[in-house]
Amino acid sequence: MSDAASQTGPVLSADGKPLKRSLQRALRAQKLRALALIAPLLIFILVTFIAPIADMLFRSVENQIVSDTLPRTTRALQDWDHKAGQPPSEDVFAAFTYDLVAAAERKEHTRLGTRLNYEMTGISSLFRKTGRRVDDFGETYMDQFTQVDPALERPETWMTLMAAPDWQADYAAWDAARVAANKAGRDFDQPAPLFRLKAGVAEVLPETADAYAEFARLAQTENADNPADEEPWPPVFLALYRDLIHVGPGAIGRLDDASQAILAPAHDAVETFETVDLVDLYLDADEDWQNPQVWATIQAFAPAYTPGYFLSSVDLKQTPDGVAAQPEDQRIYVMLFQRTLFMSLVIMGSCVLLGYPIAYLLSNLPMRTSNVLLILVLLPFWTSLLVRTSAWKVLLQQQGVINDVLVWMGIVADDARLVMINNQFGTIVAMTHILLPFMILPLYSVMKTIPPSYVRAAKSLGATNWTAFWRVYFPQSVPGIGAGCILVFILAIGYYITPELVGGTTGTFISNRIAYHISSSLNWGLAAALGTILLAVVLILYWLYDRIVGIDNVSLG
């Protein structure tokens, strides 16, 4: 026995390997096969459901356009106090000039103006008008610099002053390879080496180096040009003046001989230059640039992420001084959310009241008769939603069929026809008709599973028809009611076409406003925030329903 016990080891499989390891390997392979089978469905759900929701959540707080388009301006505005009631200093205007001329070159200044216009009306036109003129800011200094040294007008002079020698060598090699490929008839898709500054020039001429590097890189990326063939923007000369007026001769001496030869005459002459107030150039473009609120708005929305869209969704707004209420005539979103929830509940209740008797009738009629009637219930699914909604417009309008019948019967006077369209009544009637099958089908499927013998047994024990129905039949149909209510309510709260066509000004839903911001105003951030709030409301109501009724009691039969 002791010898047998000493030879006892792990249990082996048929191939001589430990059984435990073999079982783990087999289980892992089985899980991988199962995952491979459901992978297409998971990918489909991820692409069509999870990814759009994640994108919506991101867009509702994303605000990177301000900091990405005006990086110098946002940094310069960090120490500016808008409460002083004065526009920022000329340094801020200079930083804004470099940002705006680059944004105008990329055609991004109008997008930025549109974004900021959501927060302060009028900024969009400011950016459009100034974007057309900012390219000329600095022409006065450009003319004076070229009078001192005509070479400053030539692109190759700026290459000597700003471009790194190794970049010039790399670019020359790239250009030679491109020319050779074109001569040989070969495709050449290698990107050009991006412009690099000469070492040390940014320390001596910080604004000029920054502005010129932006110009050179945009010439490459936006226009596919060689910076060595392009004359710099006039704002680059503005930057050169601002640098030279503050730099001493000793700093210029730290540059190479070629750069010193270019800059020394200009540095000696800048003290005699005719100066131009940069602020006055902006005021000539538009006097609103002296309004501190314009700059305070840029400062307030400089962060990459903002709660501004969510605040606007609940009739608030982010201001430089904090959160404030929207003007009274612009407070519409809370009212729209309340209207959407109220009307969705009314539509759901109408579908329950109308759908329950129909489902009860269908489930208790003979099979042949109930099948024929069930086709009538399903018939709306085979008819275009647009056609059904348009039919209600014909029926409900003041010169429509229903009003004509009421006038013919003498119930309504011809000059007092009922207004049943372009209001909440029209939306409720049309959507109840459209969503009624979604209530009837779950009810019908549940009612078909209720044995008729239960009601007969209750009656045989002395219960009245009402008592047998209310105490025996109805509780068993509650799961169908729950399923129908969830279907109808969730479909109603996000409906768009029907409220748009028959709702008018008092019967539209929040979904119509979301569609407006997506397709017309292009305020996708606000549309995403409204959609996120709507999703949160649905999830909260779903949670409450689960707590009160219990989602386990919902059944589709």
Give residue-wise pLDDT tens across range 412-435. 888 888 888 889 999 999 999 999
Give buried/exposed letters for 257-272 (b at 16+ CB in 10 A, else e): eebeebbeebbeebee
Q: What's the confidence (pLDDT) of residue 330?
A: 85
Joined tokens for residue 453: 């013998």
Angle at Cα 203 formed by Cα 199 and Cα 207, nearest 5°?
A: 110
Q: Is 317 helix (H, G, I), strand (E, B) or coil?
A: strand
Q: Which residues 6+ apart lie within 8 Å of 553 measured at CB? A: 478, 479, 482
Q: Quick one: DSSP state of residue 71?
A: H
Q: Which helix (H) or strand (E) holds 452?
A: helix 452-460
Joined tokens for residue 3: 């010898």
Q: Which residues 6+ apart lie within 8 Å of 247 measured at CB? A: 204, 205, 267
* pLDDT of 252 above 90: no
* pLDDT of 529 above 90: yes
Q: What's the confidence (pLDDT) of residue 511?
A: 92
State whether the Cα torsion 374-385-539-326 is positive or negative.
negative
Rounded to 5 degrees, φ, ψ at 376 are -65, -35
Joined tokens for residue 517: 């911001």
Q: Which residues 6+ apart lie within 8 Å of 241 measured at CB? A: 138, 141, 145, 270, 273
Q: Quick one: DSSP state of residue 322?
A: E
Please check whether residue 510 is in contact with residue 340, taking contact to mean a CB–CB distance below 8 angstroms: yes
Residue 555: pLDDT band with limits 50, 70, 90: low
Alpha-carbon distance values, 152 to 139, 214, 258 (Å): 13, 18, 13
* pLDDT of 249 above 80: no
* pLDDT of 87 above 70: yes
Q: What's the confidence (pLDDT) of residue 551?
A: 66
What span, in angstroms and rounded, lies between the C-alpha atoms of 545 and 547? 5
Please check whether residue 240 is in contact with residue 127, taking contact to mean a CB–CB distance below 8 angstroms: no
Joined tokens for residue 432: 């109840």
Q: Report the percentage of the chain scoring pLDDT > 90.
A: 52
Q: Is 169 helix (H, G, I), strand (E, B) or coil?
A: helix
Rounded to 5 degrees, φ, ψ at 88 are -70, 175
Q: Is 305 helix (H, G, I), strand (E, B) or coil?
A: strand
Q: What's the confidence (pLDDT) of residue 5?
A: 45
* pLDDT of 4 above 50: no
What span, in angstroms and rounded, lies between the C-alpha atoms of 471 and 461? 13
Q: Is 318 helix (H, G, I), strand (E, B) or coil?
A: strand
What span, in angstroms and rounded, lies between the C-alpha atoms of 397 and 403? 7
Give mean pLDDT, residues 361-389. Answer: 87
Please check whether residue 302 is in contact with residue 185, taking contact to mean a CB–CB distance below 8 angstroms: no
Rounded to 5 degrees, φ, ψ at 318 are -90, 125
In three state form, how does the secondary structure of 250-299 look? HHHCCCCHHHHHHHHHHHHHHHHCCCCCHHHHHHHHCHHHHCHHHHHHHH
What span, in angstroms and rounded, lies between the C-alpha atoms of 26 and 29? 5
Task: Report pLDDT digits (tens) over 407-416.
Answer: 999 888 888 8
* pLDDT of 82 above 90: no
What span, in angstroms and rounded, lies between the C-alpha atoms of 483 and 481? 6
Give me the amino acid identity at 28. Answer: R
Task: Report pLDDT digits (tens) over 266-311.
Answer: 998 999 999 989 999 999 999 999 999 999 999 999 999 999 999 9
* pLDDT of 322 above 90: no
Residue 334: pLDDT band with limits 50, 70, 90: very high
What span, in angstroms and rounded, lies between the C-alpha atoms of 548 and 527? 32
Bridge partners of 163, per DSSP, are: 197
Task: Report pLDDT digits (tens) over 452-491.
Answer: 899 899 988 888 999 999 999 999 998 889 889 988 999 9
What span, in angstroms and rounded, lies between the C-alpha atoms of 518 and 536? 20
Give me the amino acid identity at 505. Answer: T
What span, in angstroms and rounded, lies between the C-alpha atoms of 433 and 388? 9
Arithmetic mean of pLDDT over the chain: 89
Q: What's the confidence (pLDDT) of residue 56?
A: 87
Distance from CA of residue 439 to its chain's centroid? 33
Burial of 469 (0-12, 13-18, 19+ CB in 10 A): middle
* pLDDT of 557 above 60: no
State whether the Cα torsion 260-265-269-274 is positive or negative.
negative
* pLDDT of 3 above 60: no
What span, in angstroms and rounded, lies between the C-alpha atoms of 186 and 328? 65
Give me the amino acid identity at 525. Answer: G
Q: Is 88 helix (H, G, I), strand (E, B) or coil?
A: coil
Q: What's the confidence (pLDDT) of residue 1?
A: 43
* pLDDT of 166 above 80: yes
What span, in angstroms and rounded, lies between the C-alpha atoms of 528 and 186? 47
Q: Quick one: DSSP state of residue 323?
A: E
Joined tokens for residue 238: 């503005």
Residue 2: pLDDT band with limits 50, 70, 90: very low
